[in-house]
A and B are shown apart, each in its own frame.
Chain A
Amino acid sequence: MKTIAVIFGGRSTEHDVSIVTAISSVIKPLESTGQYQVEPVYISKEGNWYLDRKLCDIKLYQSGEIDDFLSKTSKIHILIDNGLVLVKGSSFAGRKQYKKIDLVFPAMHGTYGEDGDLMGLLEMANVPYVGCGVAASAVAMDKVLSKQVTQSQGIPSTPWVWFHEDELARSTKEVLKRISALKYPIFVKPASGGSSIGITKVKNKEELVNALEVAVHFDNKVIVEQAVENLIEVTLPIIGNGEAIPALLERPILSNEDFFDFEAKYVSNGKGNKTGGGKKGSQGYSEIPADLPKDIYDATVEIALDVYRAVGCTGISRIDMLIDSKAKKIMFNEINPLPGDLYAHNWVRSGTSKVELVTQLVKYAEDRWIRKQKLQTGFSTNYLKQF
């Protein structure tokens, strides 16, 4: 039986979202297959790693007992030894428990997890892992980089500008001048944030400075985007390595004044759900599939698939798109290389159960790793003889 480590939590503003993703959409379905030994690996907000079966219980986090639990639990260490080995010490007799991991299922959102940092570690350990690789993760999580890459492939997006935090501090006027080329309303966003944390919709110049200060609080790189008129916001989960397989185009049901923020995504009781059976909180707010004219629907899906391929996504991602319904213009917004909850509700609607989703993702991870083993990474030279 293969041992799969599900790594979640982490030093990220999306720490709590990651806990839900890991427990309900990854660990439970994997264990239900009866084919895997699943090890929950939790990274605390301070960045310490823990391994314990009790970490699978959501009540531990909801009740606030997690800190007390961690204070009594040994941290684990990572050993890179022809793969990944987790080492857990014991308070008795100095004995250690070694757990060899056959595959890693990252369930971390945001910084240090979804942005490629964790993937880098896993690449060094040469262990198969689910989801996007280092480069795709880094590009996807950086809204500026992802727009630069997709723009180079001719994929349209709404007008945007970007700047570094020190640039704002050094030449505020210059930055504001660049922003003034955009038409209000605009969106000010941390370049590498997720779950819409730190994003502000700005309707006029007076609100701008405050919004910029909020954004730089979360990231030292900021992107400012012009809002789309006659907006229809949609999102599309996609899985696959070479061949990208879309789920259903999903449209959040929001009023014109709102946007798809953290509250709407994860906390709201929902504002109407045409699909029926909506639930509180996460994913209780969408139209699946999005009710769009067929040509717009198909074109949006095609562009989203182009984005997926252009960035080099593998495993799973979710592509957010913006549509100007009057001008019939479809624009790329952003990519989520690890969607919250894996967006399993959408996959279930499209005919893929949670169990099938995670087992397919495990297979993609294994396929990618096998292909990588065949690559030549060594090269003999006489270079050293010169010294």
Chain B
Amino acid sequence: MIFLLQYLNPLTVIKGIYVLQRLEYDTRNYLDRVLNPKSIAALKQYRGRLSLTGRVVLSIIILLFCYFGYIYTILNKVHPLSIAFFILVAGFVLSGLFFLAAINFIIEIFVAAPLKRHKIALASVKLSRIEATRIAVLGSYGKTTMKEMLLTVLGEKYQVSATPGNRNVLVSHASWVQGVVTDSDEVLIFEYGEGAPGDIRRLANFSKPNRAVVCGVSPAHLDKYRTIDNIVADFRTISDFVSSECIYFNQECPELINFSEGSIGYSASGGGSVSVESVKVGYEGTTFELRIGSKNKRAVFTSGLVGKHHVGPMVAVIIMSLDMGLSIEEIQTGLSKVSPHEHRMHPRFEHGAWIIDDTYNGNINGLKAGLDLLHDLPAKRKIYMTPGLVDQGDLTKSVHTELGAYIAQKNPDKVVLVQNSVTHHILEGINNSNYKGEVQIISDPLMFYQSLSLFLATGDLLLLQNDWPDEYK
């Protein structure tokens, strides 16, 4: 009953606007959340703040107009239905949550979508004039790291520009082209964000890539794709735009084996004309030796990225850079400048302990790579924290029990889980694997992050993986 009262609380609409913004104004997703009263009641704004964009302001104005219009109507005309029904309807109206969905839908159809199309059209015209190598970076994971590595390494020889942050949807690409890209750019790197079938083709139609890197596939956005095969099929559409010998794919990912005939596979063992030897991983970064070409030339590469799982992507960067004419020295210099991106396997030394912030990691392969790293690095005590993964669709249970089993296998001293809808699956995986360490379940991850100095001791290694957005429970 208390949950249902959320719908009668006029202030709930403020949470609703925040949720809508977090879901990037997707009306359908928003309605899924709103129709679950527990989801609304439990929502706390603790990761972000409502950004007063033009769309939000327009929504609020229309909402207020509707409120006053409804109140005016009621005051002037007595409703013929019973008082109880009147209060209920008034409640739904007053809470504004469903009004907001309708307003958002109308704004999307008549305002936002036309504006987006216009923006994309303008950006397409500008892009058609620019003669630059265009590299598409796709994958369920590892895209941003790959993009940043290419940006840094290729930047040793070329003027390079890349889509910013993790803004990887079409309208973001258009904004970036309009606002940042110049005629003097020699290489443009586009990070492709796949969210639904057809996204890769739409993005490729706009950016017209001539090189592509496929970083890997994992269960992500299965609410739209339904199966991993559908994700792979979407990725394969890049072959309609990029010739095979310019596609580099992660051959450690079983789903990508033989991605397309003639495409170049890469892995932690090597790829193309290079093979990897003697990998060393420490808190300061990763170093490995490479044998290059048929003459077995050797070179040592070092980067600030931490973890063996970065070796494969670094190999991809190296072979693409060699193909694009960079010298080994230029590549070495570029890679040495690569440092961890914030919230992506980012090690920090605080309170006498090492903390690896991997809170932007949102896929099972990434979590496993992190657990491998936790296992390999030396520490007095190892602590692993995760809330689990979102958007796993029908695979939610299997992915999380698999995660629990992997955690048990890597055997950290302590596991900290965040109480939510997948915790029991992770616990099932942990318990079924006879894990002997300590498990702690917390309800407030923000409090945990803010109080790390209280939970850590000298010599500890803490790995934080993934962080659920506010709108997920």
- Judged by a CB distance under 8 angstroms, whether A155 is at the interface is no
Query: Which of chain A's residues 41-98 have a Cβ closer than 8 Å to chain B?
Result: none
Establish whether residues B458 and A351, one from each chain, have CB atoms under 8 Å apart when the complex forms: yes
Q: Using A32-B447, A277-B352, A349-B352 as known contacts, say yes or no to A354 and B454 having CB atoms under 8 A apart.
A: yes
Separation in Å of the A277 CB from the closest CB of chain B? 7
Separation in Å of the A21 CB from the closest CB of chain B? 14
Q: Residue-by-residue, is A264-278 near B (CB-CB < 8 Å gives 1, otherwise 0)?
A: 000000000000010
Establish whether residues B454 and A347, one from each chain, have CB atoms under 8 Å apart when the complex forms: no
Establish whether residues A29 and B454, one from each chain, have CB atoms under 8 Å apart when the complex forms: yes
Q: Which residues of A contact B352 (CB under 8 A)?
A: 277, 348-349
Q: Using A32-B447, A34-B444 as known contacts, say yes or no to A355 and B380 having CB atoms under 8 A apart.
A: no
- Judged by a CB distance under 8 angstroms, whether A11 is at the interface is no
- The listed residue with most B CB atoms (<10 A of its CB), out of A28, A32, A349, is A32
Establish whether residues A353 and B380, one from each chain, have CB atoms under 8 Å apart when the complex forms: no
State A277–B351 Cα separation when bound (angstroms). 9
Establish whether residues B457 and A350, one from each chain, have CB atoms under 8 Å apart when the complex forms: yes
Q: Residue-by-residue, is A258-297 near B (CB-CB < 8 Å gives 1, otherwise 0)?
A: 0000000000000000000100000000000000000000
Q: Using A32-B447, A32-B451, A277-B352 as known contacts, say yes or no to A351 and B442 having CB atoms under 8 A apart.
A: no
Establish whether residues A354 and B381, one from each chain, have CB atoms under 8 Å apart when the complex forms: no
- Judged by a CB distance under 8 angstroms, whether A352 is at the interface is yes
- Judged by a CB distance under 8 angstroms, whether A102 is at the interface is no
Q: Using A28-B451, A32-B447, A32-B451 as known contacts, say yes or no to A353 and B457 having CB atoms under 8 A apart.
A: yes
Query: Which of chain A's residues 144-203 have a Cβ closer than 8 Å to chain B?
Result: none
Which of the four size classes fits the interface of chain B? 10 to 19
What residue in chain B is nearest A276 (Cβ atoms)? B352
Query: Which of chain B's residues 151-165 have a Cβ closer than 8 Å to chain A?
Result: none
Separation in Å of the B92 CB from the closest CB of chain A? 36
Which of the four size classes fits the interface of chain A? 10 to 19
Main secondary structure of the interface of A (DSSP, over half): helix
Q: Which residues of B contact A34 (CB under 8 A)?
A: 442-444, 447
Q: Which residues of B contact A353 (CB under 8 A)?
A: 454-457, 460
Q: Which residues of B contact A348 (CB under 8 A)?
A: 351-352, 456-458
State A72–B420 Cα separation when bound (angstroms). 43
Of A32, A349, A351, the residue contacting B455 (CB under 8 A) is A32
Q: Which residues of B contact A350 (CB under 8 A)?
A: 457-458
Query: Which of chain B's residues 432-471 have a Cβ closer than 8 Å to chain A?
Result: 442-444, 447-448, 451, 453-460
- The listed residue with most B CB atoms (<10 A of its CB), out of A29, A350, A353, is A353
- Judged by a CB distance under 8 angstroms, whether A117 is at the interface is no
Establish whether residues B380 and A32, one from each chain, have CB atoms under 8 Å apart when the complex forms: no
Establish whether residues A351 and B454, one from each chain, have CB atoms under 8 Å apart when the complex forms: no
State A349–B453 Cα separation when bound (angstroms). 12
- The listed residue with most A CB atoms (<10 A of its CB), out of B455, B457, B459, B460, is B457
Of B443, B444, B454, B458, the residue contacting A355 (CB under 8 A) is B454
- Judged by a CB distance under 8 angstroms, whether A356 is at the interface is yes
Q: Which residues of A contact B448 (CB under 8 A)?
A: 32
Q: Which residues of A contact B447 (CB under 8 A)?
A: 32, 34
Q: Residue-by-residue, is A338-349 near B (CB-CB < 8 Å gives 1, otherwise 0)?
A: 000000000111
Query: Which of chain B's residues 371-404 have a Cβ closer than 8 Å to chain A?
Result: 380-381
Q: Which residues of B contact A277 (CB under 8 A)?
A: 352
Q: Which residues of B contact A349 (CB under 8 A)?
A: 352, 457-458
Separation in Å of the B98 CB from the closest CB of chain A? 35
Establish whether residues B457 and A347, one from each chain, have CB atoms under 8 Å apart when the complex forms: yes
Separation in Å of the A351 CB from the closest CB of chain B? 5
Query: Which of chain A's residues 349-381 have a Cβ closer than 8 Å to chain B?
Result: 349-356
State A29–B456 Cα separation when bound (angstroms). 11
Q: Which residues of A contact B442 (CB under 8 A)?
A: 34
State A355–B448 Cα separation when bound (angstroms). 11
Establish whether residues A352 and B457, one from each chain, have CB atoms under 8 Å apart when the complex forms: yes
Q: Which residues of A contact B460 (CB under 8 A)?
A: 351, 353
Separation in Å of the B449 CB from the closest CB of chain A? 11
Q: Which residues of B contact A355 (CB under 8 A)?
A: 454-455
Establish whether residues A28 and B454, one from each chain, have CB atoms under 8 Å apart when the complex forms: yes
Separation in Å of the B52 CB from the closest CB of chain A? 32
What residue in chain A is nearest B381 (Cβ atoms)? A351
Q: Using A28-B451, A32-B454 as known contacts, say yes or no to A351 and B459 having CB atoms under 8 A apart.
A: yes
Q: Which residues of A contact B351 (CB under 8 A)?
A: 348
What residue in chain A is nearest B447 (Cβ atoms)? A32
What residue in chain B is nearest A352 (Cβ atoms)? B457
Separation in Å of the A323 CB from the closest CB of chain B? 25
Q: Residue-by-residue, is B196-211 near A (CB-CB < 8 Å gives 1, otherwise 0)?
A: 0000000000000000
Q: Using A28-B454, A32-B454 as known contacts, say yes or no to A351 and B380 having CB atoms under 8 A apart.
A: yes
Q: Which residues of A contact B457 (CB under 8 A)?
A: 347-353, 356
What residue in chain B is nearest A351 (Cβ atoms)? B457
Separation in Å of the B3 CB from the closest CB of chain A? 23
What residue in chain B is nearest A30 (Cβ atoms)? B454
- The listed residue with most A CB atoms (<10 A of its CB), out of B454, B458, B459, is B454
State A28–B447 Cα separation when bound (angstroms). 11
Q: Residue-by-residue, is B87-128 near A (CB-CB < 8 Å gives 1, otherwise 0)?
A: 000000000000000000000000000000000000000000
Separation in Å of the A158 CB from the closest CB of chain B? 33
Q: Which residues of B contact A32 (CB under 8 A)?
A: 447-448, 451, 454-455
State A356–B454 Cα separation when bound (angstroms). 9
State A353–B460 Cα separation when bound (angstroms). 9
Q: Using A277-B352, A348-B352, A349-B458 as known contacts, say yes or no to A354 and B444 having CB atoms under 8 A apart.
A: no
Q: Which residues of A contact B454 (CB under 8 A)?
A: 28-29, 32, 353-355
State A28–B450 Cα separation when bound (angstroms). 11
What residue in chain A is nearest B448 (Cβ atoms)? A32
What residue in chain A is nearest B450 (Cβ atoms)? A32
Separation in Å of the B166 CB from the closest CB of chain A? 31
- The listed residue with most A CB atoms (<10 A of its CB), out of B351, B352, B453, B458, is B458
Q: Residue-by-residue, is B336-356 near A (CB-CB < 8 Å gives 1, otherwise 0)?
A: 000000000000000110000
Query: Which of chain B's residues 350-371 have a Cβ closer than 8 Å to chain A?
Result: 351-352
Q: Which residues of A contact B451 (CB under 8 A)?
A: 28, 32
State A28–B456 Cα separation when bound (angstroms). 14
State A275–B429 Cα separation when bound (angstroms). 41
What residue in chain B is nearest A347 (Cβ atoms)? B457
The 8 listed contacts between A and B (C-beta, < 8 Å) are A28-B451, A34-B444, A350-B458, A351-B458, A351-B460, A353-B456, A354-B453, A356-B457
In order of increasing CB-CB distance, the 10 nearest A-B pairs are A353-B457, A32-B451, A354-B454, A29-B454, A349-B458, A348-B457, A32-B454, A351-B457, A355-B454, A355-B455
User: Which A residues form the contact surface with B (CB < 8 A)?
Assistant: 28-29, 32, 34, 277, 347-356
5 additional A-B pairs beyond A28-B454, A348-B457, A348-B458, beta carbons within 8 Å, are: A28-B451, A32-B454, A277-B352, A349-B352, A353-B456
